[in-house]
Structure formats: C-alpha cells, structure tokens
Chain A
Amino acid sequence: MQNFTYHRPGSVEEAVQALSAASDGTLMGGGMTLLPTLKQRLASPSDVVDLGGVAGLSGISEDGGKVVVGAMTTHAEVASNAIVTAKIPALAALAGAIGDPAVRNRGTIGGSIANNDPAADYPAALVGLGATVRTNKREIAADDFFTGLFETALAEGEVITAVAFPVPERAGYAKFPNPASRYAIVGVMASTGPAGTRVAVTGAGACVFRASAMESALGGGFSADALSGASVSADDLNSDIHASAEYRAHLVGVMARRAVAAAG
C-alpha cells in the first residue's frame, strides 16, 4: 500500500473540504473494500478521508413511515437493530449474511452501495425495496443510483449520508452465496408494498437489475407459485468459474421463488 495523508473530519462539510483540497482523495467508510484495494495498488490515493469520526452518520431511525439507515451504520448493526428486525426483517437477514462477523462489524451500507460491486447484497435491498439514497446534495431513487459495473450516480465529492427504506408489506431475500467469500452468485430481493411489487437481482449481471417479467407475474398474487412460468434471459448475465450465465439465469428463478416464499 502506498502511503497517504489520513484525515478524520468531524462533519460532512469538513470531509468535503478535505476531499476537494486533496490532489487525489478518497472517502473511507469501513475500509473493508477500500483497504484491500489499496493493498493491491489498484488505487493509490494521495489522501484518505475517514468518515468514522463524522457525527450523525451512523444509526437507524424511523422517519415518516420510512426506516432511515445512516451511511456509516455497520452491517452488524442493521442485522441486529430492533427497528429493522421489526419493520423490515428481510433487510436484517440480508445484512446478517454479508461476509463474516468481523467484516460485518466494520463494513457500512454507505461503503457497500458507493462501491456497487456486482455481487454485493445491498444493491438488491435498495432496488428491491424501492429505497432512496440521501447525499449531502440530493436524494436519489435506488432505481437511478446503480448505473453499471462499480458505477453509481454519485458525483465527485458527493457523500452518501443515509438510505431511506419504505416499509414493505411483505419482503424476502434469498441468496446463493459463493462458498468462499459469501458474496452473491445470485441474490434476489422480492417485495410488495408502497414502492410497488419489486424483484431485484444481484450477482447475476454487471449491475443489480429488476426482473420485470417476474414483477408482472407477482402482480396477480405475491406467491412463489405465481413465479413458476417466469424466467430471465441468460443473454447479458455473467459467466465465470463459479457459474455459467445459463446456471445464473436458472438460479435467479430459484432464488426469486425462495425470496417470495421467505417473505413475512
């Protein structure tokens, strides 16, 4: 890892200032993706701006019928929080199955969605539940946030402050994890509620996507049986040593039925 100047700002404004003063600065959430990236020298920033000391970025609250999760809230906190387990148990279960306990104790929702790994779990949660990303500049609907492989709608110097989830009537998440890393080979979040009926797929393609044929199939009734004829095409799906595109397409169907069956 190349050396860098470390900053620990106390507010989002100070973080933005430190970023803009740096020749090549980067934000750090839990560091669980950033530090391995720096060790591999896939990036060598001049400055690292740690959000760990920013007051008010961590924690979970209810706000106008939504569950609001601060950007620096760890996966472990989301998994065990009383509001999340009561209102959106599928989200708690998803967070509790990310990586391993030590990763969940450091990794944050803000870092996960900013990174937008094609096999990450949270993108499926945000799109599958119709969440809104709050930044220091604006609010972005999840459908518009994840724009491609490791790409998001975030602008230079934009800081995620929170994610607001509408409370679904029913929601379930199922993933077929990579046995070594626990990242999703395929993960599906299915829900119905104020954000409509949604089926969001992660791990299968370059970026999280909605399976519209499955959403229509569930329109008639939110049950696993309703999905029996619905499928996704293997055309644009990933193929690698873990699974072929055809196998991933098959898994999307299996995980979608399991997600709906698991929905409380």
Chain B
Amino acid sequence: MPTVSMTVNGRSAAGEVEGRTLLVEFLREHLRLTGTHVGCDTSQCGACVVHVNGKSVKSCTLLAVQAEGAEVTTIEGLAQNGELHPMQAAFKEHHGLQCGFCTPGMVMSAVDLLNTNAHPSETEIRDWLEGNICRCTGYHNIVKAIQAVAQGQGG
C-alpha cells in the first residue's frame, strides 16, 4: 500500500492508503477531521472543499496520494487560539447557515475568494460560489457574510 505524507492544518500527517483513497477519506477516516463533509461525492456540491497549497479544491475529487507533500487546510484549521476565523464569525453573525451541512465548504471557498480578490462585487461572490450548493439559506446571507468580511466588518 502506498504511504502518503502531507501537512494538514500546520501539522504533519502520514498514513498508509490505497491508490484510490480520496483526500476527503484520508481527512475524515484516517485523521478524524470530520468537519469536511461529503454531500454528493460527484464533484458538484462543494461541501468537501479544502485548500491544497492555498487553493480551494474538492477533496472528494482528489486522491490522497495526489496531495503528497502538500499543505492542506481544512475548516478545523481556520480558527486560531480558540478564536473563530473572521469568515466563520461573519457566517454566524449574518445567519449564513441553517443546517450547516454546506458550511465548511462554503467558508473554505469564501476564504479562497477573498485571498484571490479582496473586494469582490456581489456578482463576483455569487459566481465564485457556483460550485457550492446550499439547500437551506437561498445564499442571501452567505453573500452578506462574505461582503461583511470584505468590508472589514467580520464578526
């Protein structure tokens, strides 16, 4: 069996996997980081979005072995010293979630958006969330939360 090693949320992580083991399986089942969700398992919904070397990717459509040597950040890696990341705080403040299932992926995508484009328009925010599906909120408050962080008024 192949072994894989990577840095996850700043800590080194290694394990034996199969060739077919998905990154999301490695995160959830080997590392027990269950904040990253699997909604569709078909690269549509974005619940599984994590950052690999700083870029958002769908971890249900990446093999664990493809992340060999990479820096991976999951939703668990955003809060620092018990303080929510500004994006997490803004989702809470602006009711950007209801059931919360899509939220980890939504937040990871939103953080990548502001890293790429610090002051997106509403259209740019909505376009960016093309690959993140939410069954509950109607997106409105998600967009508001992201706008609040972009305007420096996080949580």
What residues of chain A have their CB less than 8 Å away from a CB belonging to chain B? 1-6, 8, 31-32, 35-36, 38-39, 48, 50, 52, 76, 99-103, 105-106, 180-182
By secondary structure, the A interface counts as mixed
Name which residue of chain B comes closest to A1, CB basis: B20
CB pair A39–B56 under 8 Å, yes or no, is no
Q: How many A-B residue pairs have CB under 8 A?
A: 71
Give A130 Cβ to nearest chain B Cβ, in Å.
30
Name which residue of chain B comes closest to A96, CB basis: B127
CB pair B19–A31 under 8 Å, yes or no, is no
Q: Pick the 9 closest A-B CB pairs, nearest first.
A: A100-B131, A6-B19, A100-B130, A105-B55, A1-B20, A102-B58, A3-B20, A102-B56, A4-B19
What residues of chain B have their CB less than 8 Å away from a CB belonging to chain A? 2, 18-20, 22, 41-44, 46, 49, 55-58, 61-63, 65-66, 68, 109, 112-113, 128, 130-132
CB pair B2–A31 under 8 Å, yes or no, is no
With a 10 A CB-CB cut-off, give which of B20, B44, B57, B61 has the most chain A CB atoms: B61
Bound state CA distance, A180 and B55, in angstroms?
Answer: 23
- Other A-B pairs, 18, CB within 8 Å; known A1-B20, A106-B61: A2-B20, A4-B19, A6-B2, A6-B65, A35-B22, A35-B43, A39-B41, A39-B42, A50-B66, A100-B132, A101-B56, A101-B109, A102-B46, A102-B49, A102-B56, A102-B57, A103-B131, A182-B130
15 contacts between A and B (CB under 8 A): A3-B20, A31-B63, A31-B66, A35-B43, A35-B62, A36-B43, A48-B19, A50-B66, A101-B56, A101-B128, A101-B131, A102-B49, A103-B43, A103-B58, A106-B61
Contacts of B132 on A, CB cut-off 8 Å? 100
